Amino acid sequence: MSQGPTERPAEMQHHVGPLYDVARELEAHASQAGWDQPDKLFAIARTADLVEREPALASALGLDGEVSDEDLTPIEQEATAPGLSLEDVLAQIEWPEEVAGVAAIAERLVLPPGTDDQIPSDPVAAKEFAANHPERQEVRLVAAVLRTGETACALRLKSHDADDLVLTGPDLVPGLLVQLKATLYPEETAADE
């Protein structure tokens, strides 16, 4: 069955909502910088709360009118520590209550299904294996989660590097979403272990 020119595959459906707006905004921002960028981490604040705490920020953000209670603002954090992976950094973070959520941007190599058994257990060898695999895909992913449990992801394949081909969905990178959520609720994560 072929798709007509106006039909989009299910994974290309346009997801809506403030958190998806943040995910798309962060991916577009990362796209302007090009590929081979370091991982980035963002706190997500409710824009109305941010403006209330820091009124001068409203003009800096270009907010001239009313701010919706649903609007969200990502705030880039300091660069991740040299020598530590994003995953290592996330394991050490606990956000204060005023942080409504958290997001991360990362570039990764993705291997095709069925290669899990071939990946060496040694991390250095595994990285080399992935980098040299002929069917690897380079991807940029954005994962975002709110304290409410809402999630949003955006994913761009380097081989299909076009704005209209960015995939969005609630759980495109489930492992990273779990790690991000753990920074918001570390006591729940510790209880689950």
Residue 5 forms part of a structural domain: no
Nearest to 19 by CA among 162, 141, 143, 155: 143
Number of structural domains in the chain: 1
Q: What is the pLDDT of residue 69?
A: 82
| pTM for the predicted model, two decimal places | 0.81
Q: What is the pLDDT of residue 190?
A: 47
Instruction: Tell me the C-alpha to C-alpha distance, in Å, between residue 9 and each of 14, 15, 27, 41, 162.
Output: 10, 13, 20, 30, 16
- CA 48 to CA 56: how far, in whole Å? 13
Residue 107 forms part of a structural domain: yes
- CA 73 to CA 54: how far, in whole Å? 13
Residue 6 forms part of a structural domain: no
Q: What is the pLDDT of residue 146?
A: 97
Residue 125 forms part of a structural domain: yes
pLDDT tens sequence for the chain (193 residues): 333 333 344 444 568 899 999 999 999 999 999 999 999 999 999 988 888 887 787 777 776 667 788 899 999 998 666 778 888 899 999 999 989 999 999 999 888 888 888 888 888 888 888 888 888 889 999 999 999 999 999 999 999 999 999 999 999 999 999 999 999 987 654 445 4
Mapped onto helix, strand or coil, the DSSP state of residue 14 is: coil
Q: Name the residue range of residue 167's domain.
A: 15-185
Residue 149 forms part of a structural domain: yes
Residue 126 forms part of a structural domain: yes
Residue 7 forms part of a structural domain: no
Residue 171 forms part of a structural domain: yes
